Structure 1
Amino acid sequence: MTDDIPVRVRPEIAALPPYRQGKQAGAAAFKLSSNENPFDPLPGVVDRLRARMDVNRYPDATAGRLREALAARFDVSVDGVHVGAGSVSILAQLLLAVCGPGDEVVYAWRSFEAYPGLALVAGATPVEVPLAGEARHDLPAMATAVTDRTRAVIVCSPNNPTGPIVTQREFEEFIATVPRDVLVILDEAYAEFVTDPHAVDGMRVLGTAGHDNVVALRTFSKAFGLAGLRVGYAIGHPRVLDAARTTAIPLSVTAQSEEAALASLEVEAELLERVRTIGERRDRLAAALREAGWDVPDAQGNFVWLPTGAETMAAAEAFDAAGLIVRPFVGDGIRISVGEHEAVEKVLQVAASIVGTLPKDHPGRKLP
């Protein structure tokens, strides 16, 4: 029995802290901690959602209508699409399918904070590869970290929480070095916000030969503004996705989530106009932060990264005091979601006041 737990729990699970959600915001504060879309759902999407109040009935366990729509969109078979309660749930399913005790999962660090926990829950050993300069994935180092115990590699582009992308060329070169029987998960939760033309595109990767071990993950939570409904999807080889479907919790995607996702696809052009607005707001914010003296990495998601290092928690408190709820990562930095227009100027004011207090040799300060 593990200390203070009345039943036998795996030691690595007992030692693992639960996933920590971004701090909630009060009525007078701006919540910039969870990379949520600041725009409300479009009226047509809300109307479709309200029309699905048959909550006394189970949903279609396969999310068949949504899978068919996505299959047509990406020109793949329906079996080449898997829908889950957010892309992170599909990531968990994939790791459960391929990993066991003694296996390893390789990923960049710092990256999405759920990766190490999901690997441990699957029984595997997390293998973290430090980011390279400019807070980017070090794909050559990740390739070197792959061993005969590696069962999965996770590549996050744009990287959450730091922002930079992996290029198509870098990814292709990396894939060529990874054994064909090792699963490569391309986490593209923020793909719609990317403006760099050189960024990897999972749909382009999956359209080429020799990539049957690659699965691309995307979500309706961010760009489509359905974070509260939890619906994401994967595109990949049907047999690989069958393994994920086998480990999935049945009936976890609600009929309401599926309906809202379908409605959102039908008004995608209007939604992507909002995405462009957020992208422009992000670029202005990142440029202004650099002008204020911050060394901000390339921002390609719907957030920016401040490398505050040892001063992270003090800086987060300064934002909090100003009514800005941000996401601190102790000892590394602060992720700030691109939220309402009114929040941008407040973020810049606080950030400018902080950077002036940092030591001159601080890694978060932009060199003259």
Structure 2
Amino acid sequence: MNGDQPVTTIRHQLSLNENFAAPLPGVREAIVDGSGRVNLTLDAMSTGLTRAIAGHFGLDSAQVFVGPGSGALLQQFLTAFAGGGEVVHAWPSFEMYPLLVQNAGATAVPVALREDAHDLAAMADAVTERTKVVLLCNPNNPTGTVFGEAEMRTFLDRLPAGVLVLIDEAYADFADQSAIANGIRLAAEDPRVCVVRTFSKSHGLLGLRVGYLIADEAVVTGLRPGSYFFRVSTVAQDAAIVALRAEEVMRRQCAEVAAERDRVYARLLALGLEVPRSHGNFHWLTLGEANESFVRFCAAGGIEVRTLAGGAGVRVTVGTPEANDALLELTRRFLHGDEPPGGDSQARQPVSVDRA
């Protein structure tokens, strides 16, 4: 290490979309209790968790498929149904989509967002005879925008019968439920529609890796051969079952995150930034050529954020009020050409932004 270089301590991690709410009631106890049985096979195929999720949503267990996080489920789904074909997806969206599609032996067909949101009409236009899957992200990561049910039904009306639609709803619990399409209801009505969700975000089980997919029984049956190699640990299953029961607390915590998100959004607008209205637990900042310097500036001030989509923008997680206030102060300093608190001696020039 160069002794002449200042060492910056990251005080706030705002690049990973973590949920900073306390673990849901009973989760700690379930983990501790389950740790005493990790030497046993127990429910290797997650039948108990599958039944619990099915019962929670009023579904048959044959419509639910459990896996170690939504990322693994996305990979399993694409491998099972997209190989040799094309997958249409919005862009920018979840940064792993192109890699997951490639790993499945398929070709990614990215469709540009319109006003930071899915352009469902353009995505329907991109479907060809080679399209096997259309991958949607609602709310979209990293922009936080959503599409509603009317838009989704119009989109489905334009799709060929043989094309599957997978809606990634990792952040759906943070969204305004009156604004976002109800993917689970659509999946119950249309056998082409599938929904993948995770316990990592709204339920706060990021470190345990638990997700689930809801789809027509035929789709779930097609996924089962891979389930032997993508299992959920029994401790994670126990925690997820308990977290699922804590629906009221989970909803309250998500509402608190959403309220803090909206407070930060209003402050960002007041600083003169154009920011999409987010329905996730993050914001998308587009500073053009200044994106990377903003990330470095925040790091010098003790906050970690990150650029995504080839540097097209900066995604900032909604953290604790303390972390958010620190981020807002750094943003103000950056826009005015100031130095970060106690930070870098390199002078900065004010950044010009379009007024929202």
Q: Determine the C-alpha separation between the residues in 1 that align with 2:274 and 2:106.
A: 35
Query: What are the equivalent positions in structure 2 for 1:204-283 lying under 5 Å apart?
Result: 204-208=185-189, 211-250=190-229, 252-283=231-262
Number of the residue aligned with 1:7: none
Matched, 1:202 2:183: yes
- What's the counterpart of residue 325 of structure 1? 304
Structure 2 residues not aligned, in runs of 5+: 1-7, 337-348
Instruction: Tell me how far 1:229 sits from its aligned partner.
Output: 0.2
AA at the equivalent of 1:153: V
Task: Give, in whole Å, the separation in 1 of the partners of 2:200 and 2:42.
Answer: 19
Using a 3 Å threshold, how does the CA distance of structure 1 residues 290 and 123 change in structure 2: closer, same or farther? same
Q: Of residues 162, 174, 177 in structure 2, which corresponds to 1:181?
A: 162
Aligned length: 335
Residue number in structure 1 paired with 2:87: 105
CA distance in 1, matches of 2:11, 2:222: 43
Q: Which digits, 9 at most, give the CA deviation of each residue in 1:263-317, with x for residues without a partner? A: 1112221122111111100000011101111100011000111012222111100
Letter in 2 for 1:141: A
Residues 157 and 164 of structure 1 are in contact (CA less than 8 Å); yes or no, is this contact kept in structure 2?
yes
Partner deviation per Cα, 1:213-236 (whole Å, 9 max, x = no partner): 110111100010000000011111
Q: Which amino acid in structure 2 is aligned with residue 35 of structure 1? A: N
Contact 1:29 1:323 in 2 (8 A): yes
**Counterpart secondary structure, 1:207:** helix
Structure 2 residue 269 is matched with structure 1 residue 290: yes
TM-score, normalised to structure 1, is 0.87
Paired residues for 1:29-178 under 5 Å: 29-42=11-24, 44-53=26-35, 54-101=37-84, 103-133=85-115, 135-178=116-159
Q: Percent identity?
A: 38
Question: 1:244–1:27: structure 2 CA closer, same or farther, 3 Å change rule?
Answer: farther
Which residue of the other structure, out of 339, 344, 347, is the alignment partner of 2:319?
339
Greater CA drift, 196-205 or 178-187: 196-205
Mean Cα displacement is larger for which, 349-358 or 288-297? 349-358
Q: What is the TM-score normalised by the length of structure 2?
A: 0.90
Aligned twin of 2:339: none
* 1:239-283 alpha-carbon deviations (Å, 9 max, x no partner): 101212223453520001110001111222112211111110000
Measure, in 1, the Cα distance between the counterparts of 2:227 and 2:91: 27
User: What secondary structure sits across from 2:207 in the alignment?
Assistant: helix
Q: Is the 8 A contact 1:99 1:123 kept in 2?
A: yes
Aligned-residue CA RMSD (Å): 1.6
Q: Distance in 1 between matches of 2:192 and 2:16?
A: 30
| Other structure's SS at 1:113 match | coil
Q: How far apart are the structure 1 equivalents of 2:60 and 2:25?
A: 31
Contiguous gaps of at least 5 residues in structure 1: 1-25
TM-superposed CA distance for 1:359, in Å, is 5.5
Residue 191 of structure 1 aligns with an amino acid whose one-letter code is A
Q: Which moved more, 1:92-101 or 1:183-192?
A: 92-101
Equivalent residue, structure 2, for 1:366: 355
Give the conservation status (yes or no) of the 8 Å contact 2:24–2:203: no
SS in 2 for 1:328: strand
